[in-house]
Amino acid sequence: ALSLASSELKNEVLIKAADNLIADTDKILKANAEDIKNLSPEKAHAFKDRLLLNEERIKAMAEGVRKVASLPDPVGRVLASWRVPSGLEISRVTIPLGVLCVIFEARPNVCADAAALCFKAGSSVILRGGGDSFNSCLAIYDCFKKALEECSLPQGCINLVPSKDHEAVDILLKQEDY
């Protein structure tokens, strides 16, 4: 569904997600306060500023998502085109990659950035934030999830690993021989 979505539909989802980030600021701040409270003392010094969200940072996140919506759609761009001696015309055209997995640590804004960029490029994404930012990422992800629902796109276009357990990363990275 996402790889076939129009530029207009993808932009509508991103604008709604940005609007949801602003509308859900209190919910996001509450989730972030929980993450800050749960931060271990040994990580507090190094991670607190990266993890901390405030109204200004949430507004910046929403503006970042809106900026991605305003970018030209990268899907379907003709990068090169040529004709071979037999008369056949060949073109190199951009297409979605498929499903991407983005693993990041204690910067919850990366959740919004990665979701927006992958979605705009027509690729589904599995987001895995660090355990320290789990609640914040979940609240941010909910903003995108609502936007997908409002625009009748499958929730699977953007997913968040629903676990803080590091074993989830091991499962994601496990290579299977098929």
3-state secondary structure of 93: strand
Distance CA 130, CA 26 (A): 21
Q: Give the model confidence (pLDDT) of 121-138 as tens digits.
A: 999 999 999 889 999 999
Q: Name the pLDDT band for 46 (thresholds 50, 70, 90).
A: confident
Q: Alpha-carbon distance 163 to 138, whole Å?
A: 10
pLDDT class for 177, splitting at 50, 70, 90? low
Lowest mean pLDDT among 15-19, 107-111, 164-168: 164-168
Read off the pTM: 0.89
Beta carbons of 47 and 132 less than 8 angstroms apart: yes
3 state SS of 94: coil
Given a cut of 80, whether residue 3 has pLDDT beyond it is: yes
Question: Which two tokens mark 110?
Answer: 């990366």
Least confident range from 27-31, 44-48, 56-60, 86-90: namely 44-48
Reading the block at residue 114, the tokens are 């990665």
